[in-house]
Amino acid sequence: MSRKLFIAGNWKMNLSRARSSDLAAALVEEIGKEAAVDTAVCPPSCYLMTVQQALGVSRIDLGAQNMWYEDQGAYTGEISADMLVDVGCKYVICGHSERRHVIGESDEVINRKVLKALSEGLNPILCVGELLEQRDGGQTMEVIRQQVTRDLEGVGASYAGGTTLADRLTIAYEPVWAIGTGRTATPDQAQEVHAAVRTLIGELYDETLAAELRIQYGGSVKPDNAAALLARPDIDGALVGGASLKAPDFAAIVRAGVELSD
Ligand code: PGA
Q: What global pTM score does this model have?
A: 0.98
Query: Which value, to the nearest 10 degrees, does the dihedral of the CA atoms of residues 183, 184, 186, 189 take?
Result: 100
CATH of the domain at 78: 3.20.20.70
pLDDT at 2: 81
Integer Cα distance of 240 and 37 in angstroms: 15
Integer Cα distance of 83 and 129 in angstroms: 28
Residue type at position 169: L
Task: Find all residues with CB under 8 Å of 244, minimum gap 6, and list them.
Answer: 8, 9, 10, 11, 41, 250
Tens digit of each residue's pLDDT, the chain (262 residues): 589 999 999 999 999 999 999 999 999 999 999 999 999 999 999 999 999 999 999 999 999 999 999 999 999 999 999 999 999 999 999 999 999 999 999 999 999 999 999 999 999 999 999 999 999 999 999 999 999 999 999 999 999 999 999 999 999 999 999 998 888 899 999 999 999 999 999 999 999 999 999 999 999 999 999 999 999 999 999 999 999 999 999 999 999 999 999 7
Distance 35 CA to ligand 1 centre (A): 24
Distance 83 CA to ligand 1 centre (A): 25
Full domain range(s) for residue 181: 6-261
Distance 239 CA to ligand 1 centre (A): 7
Q: Is residue 203 in some structural domain?
A: yes
Helix axis angle for 140-151 and 107-119, nearest 10°, is 50
Task: Find all residues with CB under 8 Å of 111, minimum gap 6, and list them.
Answer: 150, 151, 152, 153, 154, 155
pLDDT at 205: 98
Helix (H, G, I), strand (E, B) or coil at 71: coil
Q: Is residue 14 in some structural domain?
A: yes
Q: Work out how many domains the chain is built from and give that number.
A: 1
Task: Find all residues with CB under 8 Å of 199, minimum gap 6, and list them.
Answer: 210
Residue type at position 104: G
Q: Is residue 17 in some structural domain?
A: yes
Q: Is residue 1 in some structural domain?
A: no
Query: Which residues have C-beta atoms less than 6 Å from ligand 1?
Result: 10, 174, 179-180, 218-221, 239-243
User: Ligand 1, from 10, 130, 131, 215: best to mutate by most atoms within 8 Å of Cβ?
Assistant: 10
Integer Cα distance of 190 and 232 in angstroms: 9
> Which protein residue's CA is at the shortest distance from atom 9 of ligand 1?
241
Q: Are 112 and 81 in contact (CB under 8 A)?
A: no
Helix axis angle for 140-151 and 187-204, nearest 10°, is 40
Q: Are 84 and 121 in contact (CB under 8 A)?
A: no
pLDDT at 183: 85
Residue type at position 218: G
pLDDT at 1: 54
